[in-house]
């Protein structure tokens, strides 16, 4: 009777975690026509996603959904909402899909996926990049680990939230690729910071330097988008240092497990620790430069030398 393809596409989505990322992602699911049932640790936030039905617990979300999306902060948070009392595992319907869009440990991911599969459901890890703006605009990059067939079943849900959807490999591969993303991001950031501080110390205008080198082999997203903010002393977060640090901890832990030598990442992690200590974790990642400025005693962009 019903158009089953359409039914499958617009099955109810459960959404757990309506934070800076999860709230706009939920709104985009509603806009795309998905019924959404939602739970958030602070329950009042669910009302901000107009049209989403509130549920009393992660288990209650799962009992009413075909696909359950989790978008929280750390490995322990994902474990709590999936395995905890009144967690997703207590409510999952047969053949449901659990999609974790948080950035967490690849090893924890593999363990949770095994538990979800143990109750006859499927699991995808699907961390994102693109930040709050990407979440609002529905232009997130989504890095998916899990079975290709499961990804195909979930694709309409992903397409409501993101643009570049990459199947990275089996469960955990999405998290691994996300950590690769953070590894590259944090070292491109160090590249920018060392170039700027060297330039400043040498008495050359950093703005001129940025203009001269950013279009060539030294170019990066960071230098194009964040270097001029540093010169303008704008440390408002695109991405917060505290969250970058959480991700670098994951990368360094995973590197310890797989025996990958991340000497550069380790250095950046330590320098960002200095930034957290002096300026707090809510500043943007471009504040990495402030760890180097703490050493030189001179701010990039200052004219008095």
Q: How far apart are CA 50 and CA 212, in angstroms?
A: 47
| Footprint (CB under 8 A) of its own copies, residues 101-140 | 106, 129-131
The least distance separating its own copies from the CB of residue 77, rounded to whole angstroms, comes to 22
Contact with its own copies (CB under 8 A) among 62, 173, 230, 289? 173
Is residue 166 a contact residue for its own copies (CB under 8 A)? yes
Q: Determine if 148 is a binding residue for its own copies (CB under 8 A).
A: no
**Considering the rule CB under 8 A, would residue 188 count as an interface residue with its own copies?**
yes
Report the C-alpha gap between 57 and 286 in whole angstroms: 38
Task: Give me the 211-240 binding string for its own copies, x by CB under 8 A, dash otherwise.
Answer: xxx-xxxxxxxxx-x-------------x-
| Cα within 13 Å of Cα(125), Cβ side | 29
We find the least distance from the C-beta atom of residue 253 to its own copies, in angstroms, to be 12
**Residue 169 makes contact with its own copies by CB under 8 A:** yes
Would strands 162-169 and 13-16 be described as parallel, antiparallel, or unpaired? unpaired
Residue number with CB closer to its own copies (153 or 167): 167
Residue 187 binding its own copies, by CB under 8 A? yes
Annotated active-site residue 229? The verdict is no
What minimum distance in Å lies between the beta carbon of 51 and its own copies?
30
Residues near its own copies (CB under 8 A), total: 73
Q: Is 244 helix (H, G, I), strand (E, B) or coil?
A: helix
| Segment interacting with its own copies (CB under 8 A) among 11-19, 44-52, 165-173, 273-281 | 165-173
Provide φ and ψ at 182, rounded to 5°.
-70, -35
Should residue 275 be labelled a site residue for its own copies when binding is judged by CB under 8 A? no
Of the candidate spans 150-158, 229-237, 251-259, 276-284, the one that interacts with its own copies by CB under 8 A turns out to be: 251-259
Specify the residue, 118 or 216, whose C-beta has the smaller distance to its own copies.
Answer: 216
Q: How far apart are CA 22 and CA 3, in angstroms?
A: 30
Q: At what angle do helices 148-161 and 22-31 cross, to 10 degrees?
A: 90
Catalytic residue among 45, 178, 240, 246: 178
Q: What is the rounded distance in angstroms from the CA atom of residue 79 to the CA atom of residue 31?
A: 29
Does residue 304 belong to the site contacting its own copies (CB under 8 A)? no
| Residue whose CB is less far from its own copies, 61 or 193 | 193
145: Cβ contacts below 8 Å, ≥ 6 apart: 109, 124, 125, 126, 168, 169, 170, 171, 172, 173, 174, 175, 176, 177
In three-state secondary structure terms, 51 is: coil
Closest CA to 129 of 78, 177, 186: 177
Q: What is the nearest approach in angstroms of its own copies to the Cβ of residue 68?
A: 24
Catalytic residues: 178
């Amino acid at each position: 009777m019903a158009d089953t393809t359409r039914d499958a596409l617009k099955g109810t989505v459960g959404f757990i975690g309506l934070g800076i990322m999860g709230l706009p992602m939920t709104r985009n699911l509603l806009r795309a026509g998905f019924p959404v049932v939602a739970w958030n640790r602070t329950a009042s936030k669910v009302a901000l996603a107009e049209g989403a039905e509130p549920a009393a617990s992660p288990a209650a979300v799962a009992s009413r959904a075909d696909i359950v999306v989790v978008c929280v902060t750390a490995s322990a948070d994902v474990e709590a909402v999936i395995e905890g009392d009144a967690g997703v595992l207590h409510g999952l319907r047969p053949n449901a899909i659990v999609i974790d869009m948080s950035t967490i440990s690849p090893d924890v991911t593999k363990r949770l996926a095994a538990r979800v599969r143990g109750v006859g459901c499927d699991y995808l890890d699907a961390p994102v990049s693109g930040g709050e703006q990407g979440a609002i605009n529905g232009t997130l990059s989504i890095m998916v680990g899990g079975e290709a067939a499961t990804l195909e079943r979930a694709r309409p849900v992903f397409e409501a939230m993101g643009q570049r959807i990459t199947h990275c490999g089996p469960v955990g591969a999405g998290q691994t690729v996300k950590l690769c993303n953070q590894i590259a991001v944090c070292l491109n950031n160090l590249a920018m910071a060392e170039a700027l501080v060297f330039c400043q110390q040498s008495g050359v205008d950093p703005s001129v330097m940025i203009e001269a080198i950013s279009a060539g082999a030294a170019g990066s997203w960071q230098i194009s988008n964040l270097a001029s903010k540093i010169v303008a002393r704008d440390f408002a977060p695109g991405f917060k240092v505290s969250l970058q640090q959480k991700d670098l901890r994951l990368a360094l832990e995973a590197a310890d497990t797989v025996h990958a030598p991340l000497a550069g990442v380790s250095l950046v992690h330590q320098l960002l620790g200095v930034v957290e200590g002096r300026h707090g974790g809510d500043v943007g990642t471009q504040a990495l430069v402030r760890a180097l400025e703490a050493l030189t005693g001179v701010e990039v962009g200052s004219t008095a030398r």
